[in-house]
Amino acid sequence: MNQSGHHPRRFERINFLSSGSPESDHARARLVGRYGDVHSDEADVVVALGGDGLMLQVLHKFMGRNVPIYGMNRGSVGFLMNEFRETGLRKRLSSAQSSIIHPLLMKAETVTGKLSEARAINEVSMLRQSAQAAKIRVRVDGQVRLDELVADGLLIATPAGSTAYNLSANGPILPLDATLMALTPISAFRPRRWRGALLSDRAEVVLEVLEAHKRPVAAVADHFEIRHVMRVKVTTDHSTGVEILHDPGHSMEERILREQFGH
């Protein structure tokens, strides 16, 4: 995380995006009336009005576009969002703290040989598609680290995503500036005591599905799903980033710290 320098940035041209809920649409109308609205191509900043689901969509949409995203909570879950207030928005924007998030890049091959790729802000997950547990071999930088994981699945999370699905699967919470990925099993049956691993964000992780026809597995990058995968490679895409803005004292770094101490 890097705090903005001594000279506050100016955010004159704002693009407001609503999740489409009545609360978000109402908030957008009032904010546009107060601050105006420009097309996203001309915006100095995008203000997203909704919950974390909308924020994830907006981060994907503006990935690599070099425009910061500032969320205000009008949804039920708002870990990525700031508190909603109509007044003083430009002042809040200019004093906001900046976090750069690098997504995971997933390259997947299906049992029929089809190749797909997708990026994930939160996590790439491998999930069983049938009643039978998945069997997955884990390679890190070309070396087999786990010959056979028998589980409901497995996920690789970014620091930003470590408090999402990863946390509910009992994975570790990572500080936002950690150069790590969390590798977390989902309901591991064998090895029974394996709780996952912390890997460098420079690592290349290859997940091979064993008995892929008998035990089908889907790969999901955030909300993009590919079914019947045979092999999935995951790396951190350091060449692509997206910038999130948070009010001072409510940065993602601070929220993640609070989460680690159970607040």
Comparing CA positions, the residue from 31, 177, 3, 221 lying closest to residue 95 is 3
CA-atom Rg of the chain in angstroms: 20
d(CA 14, CA 201): 33
Structure tokens at 202: 């420079």
Active-site residue identified among 37, 52, 152, 247: 52
Residues whose CB is less than 8 angstroms from the CB of residue 2 and which lie 6 or more positions away in sequence, other chains included = 98, 100
Cα separations in angstroms, 132 against 154, 168, 212, 220, 225: 15, 22, 11, 18, 19
Pick from 93, 69, 72, 91: nearest CA to 26: 72
What is the spatial distance between Cα 3 and Cα 9, in angstroms, rounded to a whole number? Answer: 11
Q: What is the residue whose two structure tokens read 């299906």? A: 110
Q: What is the DSSP letter of 83?
A: P
Task: Name the DSSP letter for residue 214.
Answer: T
Angstrom distance (rounded) from CA 222 to CA 242: 15
Catalytic, 152? Answer no
Q: Are 136 and 211 in contact (CB under 8 A)?
A: no
* Token couple for 97: 């703290």
**Residues classed as catalytic:** 52
